[in-house]
């Protein structure tokens, strides 16, 4: 890991997870510098979301170690896990908003569940979060009354209302068109700098991740086959990195060859 250990907010070593005979994580490592945006990429089904859920303690890993702010998170140390949950937020792929709650109530819910704040203080904090994400005019609206982009901002408002140091983003652009993908990554970058949290994102959107991230990691066969800066990822000559990064260019080349009437073998396509 090239990042200085003193500057790491999150460090993962040898994380393993299997479901029956299916080995999803086979010793994954990850270094997340404090105050950075780190994106974990990989093909669909490679275990990116499983990795994130292990970090968030939604799923228990079979083996490996996770340090947060220099402290080992252990199942035998519930205090460290409780502290981690207070300092970390998770933004779900589906936003996971409650349809029966207004925008204000959705944002205030984490404060109700994790703090001893009075109702008035919760409302003030929730309104401030909505205001910061330009949603205060929709405080009384329900998620179904908001656009997709506004729902994404609402989910982020709920994630940051507890003032976390770390926010985990699970496929935040899944199912979105290119313009909306750009908008979501821009939103994450903007508010990450505004609120100074550390962000870990899992995605397979290469161009957007290259533009928005400080560091990138590529998960393949249950391990990180690459960790480094965006510039290092763009310049990497590793076969796995090139295959993932340059897949669009490879497709364009294959289509051009097909149009010229050339025979394309199935293992090249």
Contacts (Cβ under 8 Å, ≥6 apart) of 220 = 42, 43, 46, 240, 244
Sketch out the chain's domains with CATH numbers. Answer: 5-100+163-259 (3.40.50.300)
Quick one: tokens of 79? 């205090």
Coil, strand or helix at 91? strand
Tell me which range, 46-50, 123-127, 169-173, 176-180, is most confidently predicted by mean pLDDT.
123-127
Quick one: tokens of 104? 């204000």
Asked which of 61-75, 147-161, 236-250 is least confident by mean pLDDT, the reply is: 236-250
Per-residue exposure over 137-172, b if at least 16 CB sit within 10 Å of its own CB, e if not: ebbeebbeebeeebbbbbbbbbbbbbebbbbbbbbb
The structure's pTM equals 0.82
- Say whether pLDDT at 146 is over 80: yes
Between CA 224 and CA 29 the distance in angstroms is 6
Q: How confident is the model at residue 265 (pLDDT cuts 50, 70, 90)?
A: low
What pLDDT, on the 0 to 100 scale, is given for residue 269?
Answer: 39
How much is the average pLDDT of 66-93?
87
Q: Per residue in 216-229, pLDDT tens?
A: 999 999 999 999 99
Quick one: tokens of 40? 């974990």
Contact 166, 198 (CB under 8 A): yes
């Amino acid at each position: 890991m090239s990042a200085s250990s003193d500057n790491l907010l999150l460090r993962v070593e040898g994380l393993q997870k299997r479901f029956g005979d299916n080995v999803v994580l086979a010793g994954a490592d990850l270094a997340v510098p404090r105050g950075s945006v780190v994106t974990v990429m990989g093909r669909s089904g490679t275990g990116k979301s499983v990795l994130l859920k292990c970090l968030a303690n939604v799923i228990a890993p079979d083996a490996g170690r996770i340090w947060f702010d220099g402290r080992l998170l252990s199942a035998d140390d519930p205090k460290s896990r409780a502290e981690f949950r207070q300092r970390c937020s998770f933004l779900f792929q589906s936003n996971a908003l409650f349809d029966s709650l207004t925008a204000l109530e959705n944002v205030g819910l984490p404060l109700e569940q994790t703090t001893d704040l009075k109702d008035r203080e919760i409302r003030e904090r929730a309104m401030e979060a909505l205001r910061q994400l330009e949603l205060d005019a929709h405080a009384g609206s329900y998620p179904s009354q908001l656009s997709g982009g506004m729902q994404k901002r609402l989910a982020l408002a709920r994630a940051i209302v507890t003032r976390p140091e770390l926010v985990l983003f699970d496929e935040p652009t899944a199912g979105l068109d290119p313009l909306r993908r750009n908008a979501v990554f821009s939103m994450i970058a903007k508010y990450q700098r505004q609120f100074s949290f550390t962000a870990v994102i899992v995605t397979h959107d290469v161009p957007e991740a290259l533009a928005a991230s400080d560091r990138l990691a590529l998960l393949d066969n249950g391990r990180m086959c690459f960790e480094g800066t965006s510039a290092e990822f763009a310049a990497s000559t590793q076969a796995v990195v090139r295959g993932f990064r340059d897949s669009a260019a490879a497709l364009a080349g294959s289509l051009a060859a097909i149009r010229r009437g050339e025979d394309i073998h199935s293992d090249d396509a």
